[in-house]
Structure 1
């Protein structure tokens, strides 16, 4: 998956279904100090703000004449590591920002988007108590699709159940998710279709190694079996990521880093060794991310 694709996934999940192990009443959030470029590897030293600049076709980790153009992501965190504000900038005509408002009874995500010179503002999602220990979330997706999600948790947030329905005109989608955690670590997830027959769509299993860092992820569906491997350096960041689908290696990326004195990387050069056509821009072998971190 490309860095930009990871951003899209992380941004949506950050606003909709991320849970940080901080008790706001009876709901739990589970992602703290993460960025889209490292969704499984948390930032160190509790930073206040991180900006990541994305560059392609740059094959030098030390390249110094890069101008700040193209896409970038900004994230501001509260003292617990929950996102308070996120912005994804593509260019002056296309960007999106999200502001998160938390309270003991739930939270709200406000959105502001620029598209072709037109700015639209609205409530992206609301999350509030629905009685009997459940919470209800209403989401406004793209393409005029609305979603409603019911949340239940037990075992101090280590088991989380969600039931989601999406409506777009006459089209309706229903998905059940059961997630098991060990504190902040996601252990397994089962996703089922609840429209008509209750059938399992996908199963995920997460494996951890030293210092509770992710080692691999197994994803199984009817069509394929996939395993993502993360081989880490001494700082705990992946120097190699490999994806195997149905016994074929479909993704093989390596990374080199420059670190600051807090132990966070501030430059990461990635190399795509397979030129996977699923890469968000085809035939781009290198990608560089430069971070600006405020503590």
Structure 2
């Protein structure tokens, strides 16, 4: 694969040698009053289109999706008393930390203007046709940590920066601030030959410190998310966005370990690269548009 030219030192982009926490325990959920974030408002649709067109011109992978930034309505409005997927989330968290602790096992896949991308073979004990991907990118705007974490879970704008993302539905929530949820997520296929994938996912968002936060996803079984006839149910061992403060910038590391269940090789190679590159797309997007509220 031909690598694009980049003048950024890859070592400065990859924080993994220093990012392993001292504990492998997800912080327990405590009832908190969510802080009100200030998000910029665009004055007209013309300005929104101009911002999106500017981003599309510099990143061809986003050019096919030109949709206005619309905050999706939140569903459901009720909150379940406790999260039934804490054990699954804990296993996914520990799996991610093991991957972070072994940066030398990742091999360079490609570089882009805003990110560096790596892959690692999936362990033999974990069935998957797709290698583990890692993307590392930087944000140079002085946003608050919570604003970046919120923006990462806005499904309306994710359609702009994640080429594989089609849609999602919040099925249940387990915290008052909506940082724990059960999600039905949809990924694009290749019509008419390859059906799209869907995933039954538990999500948890939390701060490990004032300078480091996490958005964590993993597949779970739920009778609230039945299989669909026109979809293939994929499996997500873990996907995690790690957001860290470093000097006057934010570093975002995304590691994804998924089994898309039998994609054709030609499409699989495209999915691998686009999955690794999406964190760089996000960094560019949020600098262009500013932070947005979560679903």
Q: Same-fold call, TM > 0.5?
A: no
Identify the structure with the greater strand proportion.
1
Larger relative contact order (CA 8 Å, sep ≥ 6): 2
Identify the structure with the greater helix proportion.
2
Question: What TM-score results when the alignment is normalised by the length of structure 2?
Answer: 0.27
Q: Which has the larger radius of gyration?
A: 1
